[in-house]
């Protein structure tokens, strides 16, 4: 599997609780690396675009209000199978359903405040990264320890 990218958002509740560093470090410790990062306030317009698929659902207005209520950290994280792995690391949406050892299972306390957003598919990741980041805000770099984290098979190399 070759490397891919995903969007992560450390949500306002995690920021208010001082959990941003602990959450971000879990992805770095796992071996994924940050290629884009910004502290920002999500606007109503950006929230409407990002959560447009939920527009007709009863929780939409509250979700937009929550996501625009305080600062967030938006990240582009890269590595093999990062979309799938990040979703597993985050845990189930509602804290009381999330397993211990996941971000939501370890730090979550409620249904409405779930600390982190992660793209749910490669297609969503591509769309969401482009929504939150300009191309020049994403860096192309390779960490020095990459070879000790991922073998050739992880990175999609074939043995011929």
pLDDT for the residue numbered 72: 98
pLDDT for the residue numbered 23: 98
CA dist., res. 38 & res. 74, Å (int): 5
pLDDT for the residue numbered 149: 87
Residues 6+ apart with CB under 8 A from 109: 95
Question: Of 1, 3, 23, whose CA–CA distance to 143 is shortest?
Answer: 3
Residue ranges of the chain with pLDDT lower than 70? Answer: 1-2, 157-160
CA dist., res. 26 & res. 107, Å (int): 13
- 50 is known as an active-site residue: no
- The active-site residue out of 5, 11, 50, 117 is 117
Domain ranges of the chain: 3-87+113-135
Q: 0.85 exceeded by the pTM?
A: yes
Q: For 98-114, what is each residue's pLDDT tens digit?
A: 999 999 999 998 888 99
Domain 3-87+113-135 has CATH 2.90.10.10: no
């Amino acid at each position: 599997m070759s490397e891919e990218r995903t969007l992560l958002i450390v949500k306002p509740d995690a920021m208010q609780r001082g959990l941003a560093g602990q959450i971000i470090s879990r992805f770095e410790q796992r071996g994924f690396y940050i290629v884009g990062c910004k502290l920002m306030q999500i606007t109503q317009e950006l929230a409407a675009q990002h959560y447009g698929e939920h527009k007709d659902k009863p929780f939409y207005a509250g979700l937009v209000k929550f996501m625009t209520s305080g600062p967030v950290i938006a990240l582009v994280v890269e590595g093999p199978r990062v979309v799938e792995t990040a979703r597993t690391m985050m845990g189930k949406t509602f804290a009381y359903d999330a397993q211990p050892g996941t971000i939501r299972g370890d730090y979550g306390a409620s249904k409405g405040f779930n600390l982190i957003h992660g793209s749910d598919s490669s297609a969503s990741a591509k769309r969401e990264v482009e929504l939150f980041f300009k191309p020049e805000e994403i860096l192309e770099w390779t960490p020095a320890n990459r070879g000790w984290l991922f073998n050739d098979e992880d990175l999609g190399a074939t043995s011929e």
